[in-house]
């Protein structure tokens, strides 16, 4: 190192004694800046690479659940319709379906033991569960947990409680 005896000709006397002295060392600010930049770099690299590494192990909704939801929704619309080719459903049949628990619905629609099902009728604006003219809530009590496959059909009800239209939603998980 250059000591006070070895001064550069272009350096100012006060600058050279401060910059080239042996007692300076690394300041705390230099250390914190270096460690912070290192940590930010490592976090950015891990944040961009790690999701792509674990992507093959993420669970997606299987095609079996999607087809089960479609099949249940189509079966309800086909069997509960008042006429051929219409989506006007008999409200008593819908009340019987929507009022059942998951094991009964699973057995009725031939779903496997590993599946859970939720059938509900909701207004098109999505403002909760629709109630029939008799005051019955048209929804099962099972709440979906995790990822669900859903199938929806636009329907009307025979008691005209859903005069414009409602949404029949079937969720399988």
Check if the beta carbon of residue 72 is closer than 8 Å to that of residue 109: yes
Cα four-point dihedral sign 118, 124, 127, 131? negative
Which residues are within 8 A (CB) of 146 and not within 5 positions of it... i.e. 6 or more apart? Answer: 173
Residue 40 pLDDT exceeds 90: yes
Supply the pLDDT for residue 36: 96
Q: Where are the alpha helices (DSSP H) in 9-151?
A: 13-19, 28-54, 63-80, 91-98, 102-108
Computed over every residue of the chain, the mean pLDDT equals 79
Portion of the chain with pLDDT greater than 70, in percent = 77
* Residue bearing the bigger pLDDT, 96 or 7: 96
CA 148 to chain centre: 10
What are the extents of the domains in the chain? 13-57, 63-172
């Amino acid at each position: 190192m250059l000591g006070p005896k070895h001064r550069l000709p272009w350096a100012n006397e006060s600058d050279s004694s401060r910059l080239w002295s042996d007692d300076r060392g690394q300041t705390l600010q230099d250390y914190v800046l270096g460690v912070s930049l290192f940590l930010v770099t490592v976090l950015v690299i891990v944040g961009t690479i790690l999701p792509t590494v674990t992507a093959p192990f993420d669970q997606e909704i299987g095609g079996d659940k999607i087809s089960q939801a479609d099949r249940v929704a189509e079966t309800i619309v086909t069997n509960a319709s008042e006429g051929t080719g219409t989506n006007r459903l008999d409200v008593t049949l819908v009340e019987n379906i929507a009022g059942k628990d998951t094991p009964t619905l699973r057995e009725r629609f031939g779903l496997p033991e590993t599946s859970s099902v939720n059938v509900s009728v909701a207004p098109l604006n999505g403002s909760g569960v629709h109630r029939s003219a008799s005051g019955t809530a048209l929804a099962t009590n099972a709440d979906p947990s995790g990822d669900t496959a859903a199938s929806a059909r636009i329907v009307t009800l025979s008691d005209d409680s859903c005069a414009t239209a409602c949404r029949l939603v079937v969720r399988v998980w």
